[in-house]
Structure 1
Amino acid sequence: MSKGRRTTRASVAVAAAAVVALSACAAPEDAAGPGQDEGDAETTFLQLATGSTGGTYYPLGGEIAQLWTSNVEGIQVDTLATGASVQNMRALEGETEDAEAGQIDQSELVMAVNGVAMQAQASTGPFEEEPLANPDDILALGNIYPEVMQVVVSADSDIESIADLEGADVEIGPPGSGTEVAARQILEAYGVDPDEDINAFDSTFGDAATALGDGQVDAAFGILSVPAAGIVEVGASNEVRLLPIDGEEAEGLIEADPSYSPLTIPGGTYNGQDDDVVTLTQWATLYTTSALEEDLAYDLVRVMYENSGDIAHDVGSQVQLDTAVDGLGSMELHPGAERFYQEEGILD
């Protein structure tokens, strides 16, 4: 089936947000580079690439950036709305293109799903044909919160499993997002070809949730926090259900990609979801490169975890030091972050 595309005012908002963020990130000529003071520069300007305005990354990233700007002397961190994980990995190396925001500049800091970062490092998945120039230079700063795959349908839908999505209208996430990458893996694990067996749409989750509530699509994939604001909003007027991702298919996914692990979403989390649902989770993680100065990396990590209680977003309570290095797999830590974790007893 052909792949659909839905253009909405929200897409325009993403583009506008990107323009504003880029303007804010344009440092004066004497401003320092990533984490290094030069000449008379008083402020180091950093850019944090996040995700779509309808997801978790963008608002959460804004709060973290404000924590850094307020608590780390001599820096200003601005956020940028993007297509999320895949694009953000590319933004670490230089200019990249986004379907909605257009061209964006290099970002010194990015948020991404840990599984996508591992693919970028290994030049697999979406990076197989267009690998990064220096994939081994990607360094982790620390985990933010669990990224939970949630596949949502209307409570009265006759779709009971991922396999039942064959022939359906399905939102699988923006091109290059962690949601799209995982959605394709999951669909294929259940024998559903995402390019042939469904009519796939690539909206941001905010638009996808609206489309689901309006009956324009049958299901929507989203790698989101729990509870996810978009699902709660749809559930307020339309009862919803989550499709399980378990059994042999889930076991095969975990074996092929160790960044996945099982997670149970309790019944009652959403209006219409009465029973516990087993699904898969990864981690939303902060990444940078070796260009970020060690002491600055140390301060960024320290401030984020020490001040996580000041994050008002629903997932603020999930920004925890004791899970900061879970699921990193083959990804190496930035030396500044590693030093902080050693001092805190998280690492030997």
Structure 2
Amino acid sequence: MKKSRFSVLFGTVLMTAAITAACGESSDGGTADTGEGSGGGGSASQDLSLLTGGTGGTYYPLGGQIANIISDQTDANITPQTSGASAENMETLRAGEAELAFSQTDIAAYAIEGKEMFEGDPIDNIQAIASLYPETVQLVTTAKSGIKSVEDLEGKTVSVGAPGSGAYINAMQVLEIHGMSDKDIKAQNLSFDESTDGIQSGNIDAAFITAGTPTGAVEALSAQNDVVIIPIADDKIQELVEKYPYYAEDTVPSGTYKIKEDVKTVAVKAMLVASKDVDEDLVYEMTKALYENTDQITHAKGEFITPETALEGLGDMELHPGAAKYFEEAGVSK
């Protein structure tokens, strides 16, 4: 009986050692291939963070859909995160605390060139993946405010966007073209949700919101209020575009937020950026997955996400090599 017990014990020890060794290979060196990645590489999935914006804007819901597409089609596991949007996203990428981010094209350009809120302190570890859709500069108020023009903002309480946000820079530039500044208004630094809540409660009169239309926070406001989008006059649009060439004329169509007529304004572009440290092959696969599965995007801005327009508004920004490889294959160039 002693010999039998020893044999059983020895066999158990050998089996345990074998299992432990196998597990060790998988965890410390990644030599075990799970084959679970759906991107065809068969490698273990890579966890990446995608910085978006506030829940009341466009970045967050659209970012969730893009993250799902990429996670389903590649070996990347993308987690979207709420944030203070463009400028904050650039700083977070600088710090190495995320790998991917949404941004306005103008803010990404400022970050790379060391201008505006990045004055003298350029960010050198970010590259463009693609531009996505127009981000409309919307000056939002309600009929009861009596505000009908940008000039009517004088003396009013106006949200100019979260501190350091793209909306803030846009607001300052629109005011500048009209011979005004934040000194001519009672400026409030609020997020999109806070802005529309403030208009709803009567604490503020109007808000600058730069986002794809329709914007969730403004749609929520329009459910109980007669929303008004203040137009920018043609001559002012021309002045703005001439001085800041990353702007383009845009229109908020009638029916949006229940408005009865088209409203002329301007827009910049929303874009995706990546840290230079993200693997070239992985960025190639992510870019390909996005542009070959846009039919899975149900958000209204999905219709603008096409390879043909993916390099518009990027100017001199450097493309990530992985994205550049995809667009070269697709026959798309600046």
**Aligned counterparts of 1:174 and 1:155: Cα–Cα separation in 2:** 24
From 125, 132, 153, give the equivalent of 1:165.
153
AA at the equivalent of 2:53: G
Question: Which structure: greater helix fraction?
Answer: 2
AA at the equivalent of 1:199: K
**Secondary structure of 1:216's match?**
coil
Q: Indicate the residue corresponding to 1:251 in structure 2.
A: 238
Counterparts of residues 308-347 of structure 1 (less than 5 Å) = 308-347=294-333
Q: Indicate the residue corresponding to 2:212 in structure 1.
A: 225
Counterparts of residues 271-290 of structure 1 (less than 5 Å) = 271=258, 273-290=259-276
AA at the equivalent of 1:250: I
Could you say if the C-alpha distance between residues 81 and 241 of structure 1 is closer, same or farther in structure 2, counting changes exceeding 3 Å?
Answer: same
Counterparts of residues 109-188 of structure 1 (less than 5 Å) = 109-129=100-120, 131-134=121-124, 137-188=125-176
Give, in angstroms, the shift of residue 109 of structure 1: 0.7
**Secondary structure of 1:259's match?**
coil
Counterparts of residues 88-103 of structure 1 (less than 5 Å) = 88-94=89-95
AA at the equivalent of 1:191: G
From 60, 65, 68, give the equivalent of 2:67.
65
Give, in angstroms, the shift of residue 211 of structure 1: 1.6
**Aligned counterparts of 1:151 and 1:30: Cα–Cα separation in 2:** 54
Give, in angstroms, the shift of residue 29 of structure 1: 8.7
Root mean square deviation, CA, Å: 2.0
Give, in angstroms, the shift of residue 199 of structure 1: 1.3
Give, in angstroms, the shift of residue 46 of structure 1: 1.0
Identity rate of aligned residues, in percent?
Answer: 36
AA at the equivalent of 1:225: G
Give, in angstroms, the shift of residue 223 of structure 1: 0.8
Q: Are the counterparts in 2 of residues 72 and 303 from structure 1 also a CA contact under 8 Å?
A: yes
* Larger gyration radius, structure 1 or structure 2: 2
**Aligned counterparts of 2:113 and 2:236: Cα–Cα separation in 1:** 23
Residue 240 in structure 1 maps to residue 227 in structure 2: yes
Give, in angstroms, the shift of residue 316 of structure 1: 2.2
**Aligned counterparts of 1:146 and 1:175: Cα–Cα separation in 2:** 22
From 29, 43, 46, give the equivalent of 2:45.
43
**Aligned counterparts of 2:176 and 2:300: Cα–Cα separation in 1:** 32
- Runs (4+) off by over 4 Å: 28-31
AA at the equivalent of 2:107: V
Could you say if the C-alpha distance between residues 237 and 133 of structure 1 is closer, same or farther in structure 2, counting changes exceeding 3 Å?
Answer: closer
| Structure 1: unaligned runs, 5 residues or longer | 1-27, 32-40, 96-105
Provide the aligned length of Structure 1 versus Structure 2: 296
**Secondary structure of 1:66's match?**
helix
Q: Indicate the residue corresponding to 1:304 in structure 2.
A: 290
Q: Indicate the residue corresponding to 2:3 in structure 1.
A: none
Q: Are the counterparts in 2 of residues 294 and 335 from structure 1 also a CA contact under 8 Å?
A: yes
**Aligned counterparts of 1:255 and 1:167: Cα–Cα separation in 2:** 28
Q: Are the counterparts in 1 of residues 111 and 123 from structure 2 also a CA contact under 8 Å?
A: no
Q: Are the counterparts in 2 of residues 54 and 207 from structure 1 also a CA contact under 8 Å?
A: no
AA at the equivalent of 2:129: L
**Aligned counterparts of 2:28 and 2:48: Cα–Cα separation in 1:** 14
AA at the equivalent of 1:281: A
Q: Are the counterparts in 1 of residues 162 and 191 from structure 2 also a CA contact under 8 Å?
A: yes
AA at the equivalent of 1:184: M
Residue 264 in structure 1 maps to residue 251 in structure 2: yes
Could you say if the C-alpha distance between residues 248 and 45 of structure 1 is closer, same or farther in structure 2, counting changes exceeding 3 Å?
Answer: same
**Secondary structure of 1:92's match?**
helix
TM-score, normalised with respect to structure 1: 0.80
Q: Indicate the residue corresponding to 1:207 in structure 2.
A: 194
AA at the equivalent of 1:125: E
AA at the equivalent of 1:203: L
AA at the equivalent of 2:47: F
AA at the equivalent of 1:193: S
Q: Indicate the residue corresponding to 1:17 in structure 2.
A: none
Give, in angstroms, the shift of residue 138 of structure 1: 2.6
AA at the equivalent of 1:57: Y
Could you say if the C-alpha distance between residues 262 and 29 of structure 1 is closer, same or farther in structure 2, counting changes exceeding 3 Å?
Answer: farther
Q: Indicate the residue corresponding to 2:16 in structure 1.
A: none
TM-score, normalised with respect to structure 2: 0.83
Give, in angstroms, the shift of residue 157 of structure 1: 2.8
Could you say if the C-alpha distance between residues 132 and 123 of structure 1 is closer, same or farther in structure 2, counting changes exceeding 3 Å?
Answer: closer
Q: Are the counterparts in 2 of residues 55 and 204 from structure 1 also a CA contact under 8 Å?
A: no
